Amino acid sequence: MSLPSTYADRNCSLARALEIVGERWTLLIVRDAFYGVRRFGDFATQLGIPRASLATRLKALVEEGVLARDESTAEYRLTDKGIALWPAIRALMAWGDEFYSAKGVKRALRHAEDGGLIDDRGRCAECGLLIPVTEIQIAPGPGFDATGPAKDPVSTAMNVPRRLLEPI
Amino acid sequence: MSLPSTYADRNCSLARALEIVGERWTLLIVRDAFYGVRRFGDFATQLGIPRASLATRLKALVEEGVLARDESTAEYRLTDKGIALWPAIRALMAWGDEFYSAKGVKRALRHAEDGGLIDDRGRCAECGLLIPVTEIQIAPGPGFDATGPAKDPVSTAMNVPRRLLEPI
DNA sequence: CCATTCCGGTTCAGTCATTGAACTGTCGAT
DNA sequence: ATCGACAGTTCAATGACTGAACCGGAATGG
């Protein structure tokens, strides 16, 4: 994205954040990482992203400390810095649900411990607490469209209730 | 950004949201709109974006109903749909502040009515309420870097405490 | 053992988007 | 009429993205 570093943007943390996660595909890669995707090939087939672009993006995310690459297994995992992106992703998902999914949310977020729905500020409707990412369960919601073929094991795993960050 | 519409992304509201606001410059344009920028030339000089790109982006944002263009004054303003993007922008700003601004937030958000700081979930520390965008005051924070020339009236206006959405 | 498959990642040419600078056209004020 | 201010366009050059083929090492299996 090329640091703009104009005087105007030097004082904007949004511009800084978008330097890292504002390029095409990047946030979708991070989203998949939350869903438990860890392997190069799984990112590629899941997102339909060209492998060259994926390699570039993953390298950049590792360099910035959003993902960590396990040298022995070649798996990519979110770091704490990456996990800290969750509120931003949730906010964008909520906006997309609100304005582009007439039948309701496409994915529902629940507190895995008590099943309470998580609101758009990250709070559980049951216990009222702020729910950490590892305790969030994601499941198809009313706006979910189940038609069409989805044979490969990775995408079927992603369309079934599961906890965030749990490996596919 | 070109609808991917793969089976994988059809059920992801994040992908849908990024179709609209995921292209380069788009979120920065929306941010400036929150800061009160309304005119073509002000967006251009403020962001340092090529005028051709700006025209394309503004057209797209108007088409999607994020901005509305006043036919008589040629001013662009956020619609309710655009204003609904605020939580996402705030979340990304907070992430940028946390990881790229060692001295603290670059811009502090306060509840204009009682001066209470607004946390990263949109709540006022004083009254505890969820603060609507029109009651948010933005002001330089401890991480703000005031050095360097910033003579033009628009950017000086943006670097002084002011309410969101108030015209420059 | 050797062959095969799987998998992470690279290479490369074609295409598409972005950029910056110059330009057009419209409006209101002088 | 003329000028300046402003919204938006045009266009060549550059750079990013794409898709398909390819490379090489590590597991798999006969």
**Which of residues B82, B101, B120 is at a domain's end?**
B82
Residues in chain B closer than 8 A to A27 (CB atoms): 14, 18, 22
Binned at pLDDT 50, 70 and 90, residue A121 comes out as confident
Strand D nucleotides in reach of protein CB atoms, 7 A cut-off: 6-11, 16-21
Among the ranges given (A142-146, B87-91, B107-111, B133-137), the one the predictor scored with the smallest mean pLDDT:
A142-146
User: For residue B66, is pLDDT > 70?
Assistant: yes
Residue A2 inside a domain? The answer is no
Q: CA-to-CA distance for B36 and B163, rounded, in angstroms? A: 8
**Which of residues B63, B82, B101 is at a domain's end?**
B82
Q: Are residues A43 and A55 in the same domain?
A: yes
Q: Are residues A100 and A31 in the same domain?
A: no
Residue A114 inside a domain? The answer is yes
State residue A55's pLDDT score: 98
Residue B1 inside a domain? The answer is no
User: For residue A90, is pLDDT > 60?
Assistant: yes
User: For residue B148, is pLDDT > 80?
Assistant: no
Interface ipTM > 0.90: yes
Å between CA of B166 and C1' of C14: 47
Average pLDDT, chain B: 92
Residue B168 inside a domain? The answer is no
Share of chain A above pLDDT 90, in %: 82
Written as one string, the DSSP assignment of chain A is: ------HHHHT-HHHHHHHHH-STTHHHHHHHHHTT--SHHHHHHHHT--HHHHHHHHHHHHHTTSEEE-TTT--EEE-HHHHTTHHHHHHHHHHHHHHH-TTS-SEEEEETTT-PBB-TTSBBTTT-PBPPGGGEEEEE-TT----S---SHHHHHHTS-EETT---
Among the ranges given (A100-104, B2-6, B51-55), the one the predictor scored with the smallest mean pLDDT:
B2-6
What's the whole-number mean pLDDT along residues A1-29? Answer: 83
What's the whole-number mean pLDDT along residues A121-129? Answer: 93
Among the ranges given (A140-149, A155-164, B3-12), the one the predictor scored with the smallest mean pLDDT:
B3-12
Nearest to B28 among A14, A121, A140 (CB): A14
Q: Are residues B48 and B78 in the same domain?
A: yes
Residue A44 inside a domain? The answer is yes
Q: Are residues A78 and A91 in the same domain?
A: no
What's the whole-number mean pLDDT along residues A29-33? Answer: 97
Residues in chain A closer than 8 A to B9 (CB atoms): 28, 47-48
State residue A150's pLDDT score: 62
Binned at pLDDT 50, 70 and 90, residue A155 comes out as confident
Whether nucleic acid strand C comes within 7 Å of the CB of B159, the answer is: no
**Which of residues A82, A102, A131 is at a domain's end?**
A82
Strand partners, A108: A139
Q: Are residues A51 and A113 in the same domain?
A: no
What's the whole-number mean pLDDT along residues B85-107? Answer: 96
Q: Are residues B75 and B116 in the same domain?
A: no
Question: Does residue A82 or residue B4 have the better pLDDT?
Answer: A82
Residue A104 inside a domain? The answer is yes
Residue A126: burial class (beta carbons within 10 Å; 0-12, 13-18, 19+)? middle
Q: Are residues B96 and B150 in the same domain?
A: yes
Q: What CATH number is given to the structural domain containing A77?
A: 1.10.10.10
Q: CA-to-CA distance for A20 and A28, rounded, in angstroms? A: 13
Q: Are residues B128 and B146 in the same domain?
A: yes
Å between CA of B51 and C1' of D9: 9
Q: Which domain holds residue A22?
A: 7-82
Q: Are residues A23 and A46 in the same domain?
A: yes
Whether nucleic acid strand D comes within 7 Å of the CB of A52, the answer is: yes
State residue A7's pLDDT score: 62
Q: Are residues B72 and B102 in the same domain?
A: no
Nearest to A84 among B27, B95, B107 (CB): B95
Q: How many structural domains compose chain B?
A: 2
User: For residue B133, is pLDDT > 80?
Assistant: yes
Q: How many CA atoms lie within 13 A of B92 on its CB side?
A: 25
Residue A1 inside a domain? The answer is no
Q: Are residues B90 and B150 in the same domain?
A: yes
Among the ranges given (A142-156, B30-44, B119-133), the one the predictor scored with the smallest mean pLDDT:
A142-156
Binned at pLDDT 50, 70 and 90, residue A8 comes out as low
Binned at pLDDT 50, 70 and 90, residue A6 comes out as low
Whether nucleic acid strand C comes within 7 Å of the CB of B101, the answer is: no
Binned at pLDDT 50, 70 and 90, residue B62 comes out as very high
User: For residue B3, is pLDDT > 50?
Assistant: no
Cα-Cα-Cα-Cα dihedral sign, residues A100, A131, A31, B47: positive
Share of chain A above pLDDT 70, in %: 93
Nearest to A93 among B13, B23, B47 (CB): B13
State residue A111's pLDDT score: 98
Q: Are residues A78 and A17 in the same domain?
A: yes
Å between CA of A52 and C1' of D20: 11
Residue A168 inside a domain? The answer is no
